[in-house]
Chains A and B, each alone.
Chain A
Amino acid sequence: MTESFTTNPLFERVEVARRRKRRFRDEQITLAHGSGGKSMHELIEGLFLEYLRNPLLELLEDQAVFEVGGDNQKTKLAFTTDSYVVDPIFFPGGNIGSLAVHGTVNDLAMSGARPLYLSAGFILEESFAVADLRRILESMRDAALEAGVQVVTGDTKVVQKGGADKIFINTSGIGVIESPANISVSRAQVGDKVILSGTLGDHGTTILIARGELDLETEIESDSAPLNLLVEEILDEATRLGNIEAIRAMRDPTRGGAATTLNEIAMSSEVYIEIYENQIPVREEVKGACEILGLDPLYVANEGKLLAIVSADIADKIVERMKQNKYGQNACIIGEVNAEPQGIVAMKTGFGGTRIVDMLVGEQLPRIC
């Protein structure tokens, strides 16, 4: 389905500029630094890595994977952390508590790990209602139960009114990697298929509408969900087929959306990824809301979806198996990996054209006309 592109001097000139590692020159933090797109990458690579660099951190995966134990009894662990500042704290389909469990569980799961234990740190604003805290904790308990993890350590701080916005939660997680799978954003290979586990854009659209600034009413719910059991099934199916190597990369497309995640894979693996607009599942309500707001579902956050790069020979079987899981019912192949032009993601539009799908720049801003 893919045609090859003949690149030209202009394209190459732009690519050279695009790949250039930018020095981090900003003098202050803007919201764009937290949006998951290019500015955040610059902040992480240009500042955090500068000071905290080590071989594990510089891989810039969503989790660190390392071994512990003596020579004969090595155990592979995955470790990750994430902070949750979502506004509003309650939204259709979940709240900040369930999100804090799902997000960290998913970051562990994407490395092929079985999540075991979480920590939870709470920053509470003075005067925050205990009834709300109760609701949040209830959701955390239920989410942990479903994912099969336990919150085993925690911390609480209260700041004076205005020092934080109601409640912020940080969770860290640790998981054990038992599968021999070798999963990394840099392992996508020419010929591989791109698998998406379900509809795009549900979470981000829900949050935008739940803020109530838009006077839109819809039935959309956040897709916030734990994906560790889905990942277990994917790995199990690959093992059953005797091809665990076929599972190359997995990532959950949260902030910055599927577009940003695919770009990370294309750049890390030095491949070209082509996706097909007609194959990408997006709920009608999400499509409508995005259409009205001038947003692109490819850039909208998800909290219960994963993108997997899988070798073509077992991709269909993996999709079939995913469909049997509650959180993979709409799984499908949305694209494939090719060689050139390297580091680029493009989409065949339903209209018959091809367009670049770049990383999110700044925040995704709605258009005015």
Chain B
Amino acid sequence: MKFIDEYRQGDIAQKLAEEIAKMTDKPLKIMEVCGGHTHTIFKYGIEDLLPPNITMIHGPGCPVCVLPIGRVDDAISIAVKPEVIFTTYGDAMRVPGSKTSLLDAKASGADIRMVYSPLDSLKIAKMNPEKQIVFLALGFETTSPSTALTILQAAKDDVKNFSIFCNHITIVPALKALLDSPDLQLDGFLGPGHVSTVIGTRVYEFVNTEYGKPLVVSGFEPLDILQSVYMIVKQIVENRVEIENQYGRVVERNGNQKALEALFEVFELRDYFEWRGLGSIAHSGMRLNKKYAAFDAELKYNVPGHRIADPKACQCGEILKGVKKPWECKVFGTACTPETPIGSCMVSSEGACAAYYNFGRLSKIAQRSA
């Protein structure tokens, strides 16, 4: 396919991998922050191509994976209300709450519908004026602008039966929290691609200046990722610490002004937001501001709002921080599988555990370390 196949050529990949291997044999740990990158890395077996001294650490950038159990329970408590049509992206359907998932709630009779965009949800609201339509808003700056634009549209059209249960998060505070974490030994970062189309690359400039780590914003095709790894390794061997942009075909330094304006218009930062596995991170979550509070499902409905600890056997926390590899978790692939997930990393196809389970069980990297 034009414009896709060019980024998936095996022979070029081989050459790039050889170039990377030539540069250094120093052990290097590079974290891909974004779940989309994790998915690509496993789907195309990129770790098998990389020289053994380079380890990819899978970061916390899968929004479904970091959704804490308590928030899933809150979502279900709204979804089961008889007057509610609950709408969500497909990924979130199977995330286990403390007792059930949205998929179970749907089977029990709750009106839960999968949508591809919050605008579809708004459309459902307009078609069902006697019902309350709630959208499970979820994700980083990749999805939050479309939520923001939907809220602006709902306000403009004066839609009264539409609200969002907002779980939007923002990547920069999480990155800071990771960099401050003492048990983390990283040599560089692959920066998120689609998030950066919105927020730009300038926001990462603390990573090199304050923490002395290189970061390369990367695209999602396998060659994008290999090239980005090459760029990071090159920085390291040349003793440079810079923010570079491999994904120049869509990412600009200042981001997308229109999208940012929409975000600033409708959202404000929460003081704290809980991330599964990482705990509470200051100023990392977003909610609707006062002006748009009428669309906030958390204010419309009484949600339990309990904090619920992850199951003891589950090591999603360590995996999200990149301290452990999926296969080092005791329940990986035995008690915890994509069909009966215990932790959220096994649910989304962008979760490190699901990606590894689905694609990577034969990969050489796991063979080496098992």
| Interface, chain A (partner B; CB < 8 A) | 5-6, 8-11, 13-14, 16-18, 28-32, 38-39, 213-214, 284, 287-288, 291, 293-294, 341, 344, 346, 349-356, 358, 361-363, 365-369
Contacts and interface: CB of A to CB of B under 8 A. Distances in A.
B8 A351 contact: yes
Interface string B207-227: 000000000000000100000
A32 B90 contact: no
B121 to A, nearest CB: 12
Interface string B324-363: 0001000011110111000000001110000001111111
B337 A291 contact: no
Contacts of A291: 1, 4
26 contacts: A10-B327, A11-B366, A11-B370, A14-B361, A17-B335, A28-B104, A30-B104, A32-B103, A38-B339, A287-B1, A341-B362, A350-B9, A350-B10, A352-B13, A353-B48, A353-B49, A355-B42, A355-B45, A355-B358, A355-B362, A356-B359, A362-B94, A367-B350, A368-B139, A369-B63, A369-B142
B349 A367 contact: yes
Contact of B139 (A29, A31, A38, A369): A369
Contact of A5 (B36, B106, B362): B362
- Most chain A beta-carbon neighbours within 10 Å: one of B334, B358, B360, B362: B362
B44 A353 contact: yes
B222 A369 contact: no
Contacts of A31: 106-107
Given A30-B106, A38-B339, A368-B139, A355 B359 contact: yes
Interface string B230-243: 00000000000000
B263 interface: no
Interface in B30-58: 35-36, 39, 42-46, 48-49
The 5 closest A-B pairs by CB, nearest first: A353-B45, A365-B90, A14-B333, A10-B370, A352-B10
B349 A29 contact: no
B81 to A, nearest CB: 19
A214 B114 CA distance: 12
Given A28-B108, A355-B358, 9 more contacts: A17-B334, A291-B4, A353-B44, A356-B360, A358-B358, A361-B338, A365-B349, A367-B350, A368-B63
A351 B116 contact: no
B79 to A, nearest CB: 15
Contact of B337 (A8, A16, A18, A355): A18
- Most chain B beta-carbon neighbours within 10 Å: one of A5, A214, A354, A355: A355
A101 to B, nearest CB: 31
A349 B143 CA distance: 30
A335 B46 CA distance: 22
Contacts of A29: 107
Nearest to B141: A369
Q: What interface size band does chain B fall in?
A: 35 or more
B302 interface: no
Given A6-B367, A352-B45, A353-B45, A366 B337 contact: no
B25 interface: no
Contact of A8 (B1, B107, B367): B367
Interface in B106-120: 106-108, 114-116, 120
Interface string B140-169: 101100000000000000000000000000
B138 interface: yes
A220 to B, nearest CB: 14
B370 A369 contact: no
Contacts of B8: 350-351
A8 B116 contact: no
Contact of B36 (A17, A341, A369): A369
B321 interface: no
Contacts of B1: 284, 287-288, 291
Given A17-B333, A353-B45, A355-B359, A9 B91 contact: no
B139 A18 contact: no
- Most chain B beta-carbon neighbours within 10 Å: one of A16, A214, A366, A368: A368
Given A10-B370, A28-B108, A353-B44, A369 B194 contact: yes
Contacts of A352: 10, 13-14, 45, 49
Given A5-B362, A350-B8, A30 B107 contact: yes
A210 to B, nearest CB: 15
B89 interface: yes
Contacts of A14: 332-334, 357, 361
Nearest to A365: B90
A214 B45 contact: no
A369 B334 CA distance: 28
B66 interface: no
Contacts of B103: 30, 32, 362
Contacts of B48: 353-354
A9 B328 CA distance: 12
A5 B366 CA distance: 12
A227 to B, nearest CB: 28
B195 to A, nearest CB: 8
Contacts of B93: 365
B13 A366 contact: no
B146 to A, nearest CB: 10
A351 B362 contact: no
A8 B370 contact: yes
A38 B42 CA distance: 22
A366 B64 CA distance: 13
Nearest to B335: A17
Nearest to A363: B90
Contacts of A351: 8-10, 13, 44-46, 222
- Most chain A beta-carbon neighbours within 10 Å: one of B93, B104, B348, B359: B359
B107 A28 contact: yes
A30 to B, nearest CB: 4
Contacts of A368: 63-64, 89-91, 138-139, 142-143
A352 B1 CA distance: 18
- Most chain A beta-carbon neighbours within 10 Å: one of B49, B120, B142, B349: B349
B363 A354 contact: yes
Given A6-B367, A287-B1, A365-B114, A39 B339 contact: yes
Contacts of B357: 14, 358
Contacts of A356: 358-362
A346 B348 CA distance: 21
Nearest to B10: A352
Nearest to B90: A365
Nearest to B361: A356
B137 to A, nearest CB: 11
